[in-house]
Structure 1
Amino acid sequence: MKVLHIIASVSKVRGGTSQAVLDMVEALRVNNIDAEIATTNDDGDNLLDVPLQRCIEYKHIPIWFFQRFSPNIKAVREYAFSSQLTQWLWQNMAKYDLIHVHALFSYPSTIAMSIARSQNIPYIVTTHGLLCEWSLQQSTRKKLTYLKLIERANLNGSRNIHFTSQKEQQEVSQLGLKAPNFVLPLGISLPNNISDACYHLRQKFNIPIDEPVILFLSRLHHKKGLDYLIPALAKITHHRFTFILAGSGSPDYEAEIESLLVSNRLRDRTRIVGFVDGETKDVLMQGSDLFVLTSHSENFAVSVLESLVVGVPVLVTPGVALASVVKENQLGYVPDLDVTAIINALEDFFNNTHVAKKMGDQAQKLILEQYTWGKITNRLIDRYHNVLTNKLTIPTMNR
């Protein structure tokens, strides 16, 4: 089976979605699926220095890169228009058995679905949370207009819409889309084990060896709820801890967070470490005592899985789709997105560290049993086979 994955960018600056697609394709190839990626050379405000219009090995994955249109207007750059990609898709899409499109409201995904419909090539779409209520409330008029005029027909023309959580599926059901859908979580790639990570973390960031570490590791964005988390942490004055803030965002928002830390008198207990990956990320994940993500909306949040799989309990708010898994299986704390509720959850953590340790142990076992890419990929491949078995019933452009 030959499968082409389409995404606007695989740059690490685009966060979890790009990494999830890279991990998914790698896992498919391990399971003997001939999977490739077609994307642009987008790298945020910059461009990746990669060969264009030919398939190369990028992070051990075969990827076709195409030139992104890069004017001075940021909104246009973000749309990731690429005439090279368009031409290549018209000429080569039929060489693949199945197209797997990732994300919405970007040129690569839109044009890929449109071409697949016109050439009657089966495709599925993973929306990555972009049809969730919170996401649609951002730039509401623009997104709803785009959805009505263009994306609804593309979505209804897909053989399946893939949601990564039941929460996402329930929210999108209100849009009345006609295409069949299914829920399948993203997987987790097991990290390299860091021996004595607790010691290495504290040594690296000059933290006392016996001091608890609370970790936030995600893209810095207003949807992450840091304006709730930081005031809550600031109220925990009778417990020792260091708060590590790992991630990057726009310069304006980073300055806003810096100001928030100072105004709440939390700056001296915080280490701001910026974007991290590789061994530094593994040390942070494995050496921390609690992972926090107080987000308004997360359709999945792989970072939560990354913490749980190394035995670190989490504190997440209900907007994080994995919150139900955390709550049902007692893998951490699920307060409302409210400063007082978060304070109470933090107090529970500090006052019952033995319970938190047990949560971490339970989490590691559950994630290894249910959320590794090996488990998830087999189910995704079954879905691919089902689509191809019924490919003659694919909706056409006239539907």
Structure 2
Amino acid sequence: MLKILSVTYKDSTSGGPYRVAVDHKNCLDNKEFNLKFFKYDKNLKLKFIFNSSKIKKFINKFDLIHLHNLFSIDTIIIIKIAELLSIPTVLSLHGNLNEWSMKKNNFLKMLFLLFFRKNINSISIIHFLNNVEKEEASKFIDIKKIPYTINQNCIDVSKFKITRNNDSNFNILFFGRLDKKKNFLKIPEIANFFKKNAIQNIKFLIVGPSTVENLNLLKKKISEFNVEDLIEIRSPINSINQKNSLFDEIDIFILPSEDEADSVAIKEALASGKPVVISKECKFVLDTKNQEFIKIINNKSPRSYYNELLKFYYDREKLNKLAKKIHQYSRENFSMESLVKWLPVIYKKCINHTHRNKNL
């Protein structure tokens, strides 16, 4: 049995990377693989300084290490130990190195990349979610020196139901962290167009973790546009049962994000048979199979989101007909069956040191 150490965040409040790590564990824990979580620990630096032998002994139990965060001293410590012990490492970037993310604390991040360049170059494989992420990351690290693979996030599509309780409201869901990156303050602006045009039975549900500051900003924005009757803020949810109950209430999903590497929430909405209206920064590619239920907004105008949402509002019968089609599209494009095919290949090639010959 191959033992994998998955170094990730402590819980789902950190967003997609934690959920991805959990999905990896759920689909690969079997007779061939055993994944163990190691949570990023603010005290790891001190533990390493005062008892490095204990940490080395622990890490040496594993055949491979999969890291889910780049900009952490914990990551560098583990990479360094892994290199000394000849243990291969995989790094999933989760958008950490794209242009939008690099704008935040740019100086410190550039200093981090410069100072720990040798450690980063020792990584066995970097996992990019798409070509856009790879191209943007190549501006900050030398990917000619590090093998890479390009594979999108996958979810367990089979766990998502496609029911709808068919109440009188047309419910629009924003599901994700309330932060600047997700552009959550755009929701009251979009809701205001429904109010100004006297569109009836509209409800925006906003569900996700938030800081007190961002929650207050949202409430202030809702009050500013006087759309309290159109917006309902709910507490974060985590379990699949909670998600199915939530998606059962809604007609459509919205994400006006400023940047996404590969949104898990969008895929969960699609797995639930719901159309999505999303920004071009979500990096979904339209084709003949999905353009009927994935609507991409190429500008930042609230009116553009309103116009697309309104088309579905006036054709609610179409939503019921689309549900099975959307769910089937999800199965064919980002289900766990795909993950089970490519992730073990990467792990085995790293362990067997065959990845150095070419990019996967």
The TM-score, its normalising length taken from structure 2, stands at 0.87
**Residue number in structure 2 paired with 1:306:** 268
State the match for 1:269 in structure 2: 230
CA distance in 1, matches of 2:5, 2:311: 44
The C-alpha deviation readout for 1:104-128, integer Å capped at 9, x for no partner, is: 1123222111211222221111111
Match of 1:315, SS? strand
After TM superposition, the structure 1 = structure 2 runs for residues 256-335 of structure 1, keeping only pairs within 5 Å, are: 256-278=217-239, 279-321=241-283, 323-324=284-285, 329-330=290-291, 331-335=293-297
| Deviant stretches of 4+, over 6 Å | none
Q: 1:3, 1:97 within 8 Å by CA — same for their partners in 2?
A: yes
Q: Separation in 2 of the partners of 1:301 and 1:268? A: 29
Counterpart CA distance in 1 for 2:289 and 2:107 is 37
User: 1:20: Cα distance to partner?
Assistant: 1.4
Distance 1:19 1:111, change over 3 A: same
Deviation string, structure 1 residues 76-129 (Cα, Å, up to 9, x no partner): xxxx74626955431232332222111111232221112112222211111111
Segment drifting more, 219-228 vs 347-356 = 347-356
Corresponding residue SS for 2:149: strand
How many Å separate the matches in 1 of 2:113 and 2:233? 38
Deviates more, 1:335-344 or 1:363-372: 335-344
The amino acid across from 1:166 in the alignment is N
Structure 1 partner of 2:186: 228
Task: Give structure 2 stretches of 5+ with no counterpart.
Answer: none
Aligned 8 A contact 1:113 1:154 in 2: yes
Q: How does 1:346-385 map to 2 (within 5 A)?
A: 346-385=309-348
Q: Aligned partner of 1:262: which letter?
A: S
Question: Which piece of structure 1 moves more, 85-94 or 379-388?
Answer: 85-94
Residue deviations 1:179-225, cap 9 Å, x none?
111111121124656695526xxxxxxxxx21111011111111111
**Which residue is equivalent to 1:185?**
152
SS in 2 for 1:334: strand
Secondary structure at the counterpart of residue 226 of structure 1: coil
Q: Distance in 2 between matches of 1:197 and 1:359?
A: 12
Question: Which position in structure 2 is the counterpart of 1:153?
Answer: 118
Give yes or no for contact 2:188–2:221 (8 Å, CA) kept in 1: yes
What is the CA–CA distance in structure 2 between the aligned matches of 1:256 and 1:94, rounded to whole Å? 47
Q: What's the CA shift string for 1:113-162, capped at 9, x where partnerless? A: 12112222211111111011111111111111111111x32332112110
- Cα distance between partner residues in 2 of 1:195 and 1:128: 28
Which position in structure 2 is the counterpart of 1:9?
A: 9
Alignment partners' CA distance in 2, 1:106 and 1:164: 20
Partner of 2:215: 254
Contact kept? 1:122, 1:391, Cα under 8 Å: no
Relative CO higher for 1 or 2, CA cutoff 8 Å, sep ≥ 6? 2
Mapped to 1, the partners of 2:156 and 2:253 lie a distance apart of 18
SS in 2 for 1:348: helix
Aligned in 2, Cα 1:185/1:193: closer, same or farther, shift over 3 Å? Answer: closer
Distance in 1 (CA, whole Å) between partners of 2:8 and 2:352 is 28
Say whether 1:108 aligns with 2:74: yes
- Using the alignment, how far apart are the partners of 2:323 and 2:131 within structure 1? 24
| Contact 1:229-1:342 at 8 Å conserved across structures | no
Question: Are the counterparts in 2 of residues 6 and 108 from structure 1 also a CA contact under 8 Å?
Answer: no
Deviation at residue 295 of structure 1 after TM alignment:
0.6
Residue 215 of structure 1 pairs with residue 173 of structure 2: yes
Q: Contact 1:8/1:109 (CA < 8 Å) preserved in 2?
A: no
User: Partners in 2 of 1:235 and 1:354 — Cα distance?
Assistant: 23
Q: Distance in 2 between matches of 1:189 and 1:392?
A: 28
CA RMSD across the alignment: 2.5
Shift of 1:226: 2.0
Give CA deviations for 1:56-79 in whole Å, capped at 9, x if unaligned: xxxxxxxxxxx643xxxxxxxxxx
5+ long unaligned stretches in structure 1: 41-66, 70-79, 200-208, 395-399
- Partner secondary structure for residue 65 of structure 2: strand
- Residue aligned with 1:162, SS: strand
Question: How far apart in 1 are the matches of 2:131 and 2:324?
Answer: 25
| 1:282 alignment partner AA | N
Closer/same/farther in 2, CA of residues 352 and 169 from structure 1, 3 Å limit = farther
Relative to the length of structure 1, the TM-score reads: 0.79
Distance 1:68 1:375, change over 3 A: same
AA paired with 1:99? I
- Does the CA contact (< 8 Å) of 2:6 and 2:37 recur in 1? yes
Structure 1 residue aligned with 2:98: 132
Residue by residue over 1:295-324, the C-alpha shift from the partner in whole angstroms, topping out at 9 and shown as x without a partner, is 111111111111101101111111113x22
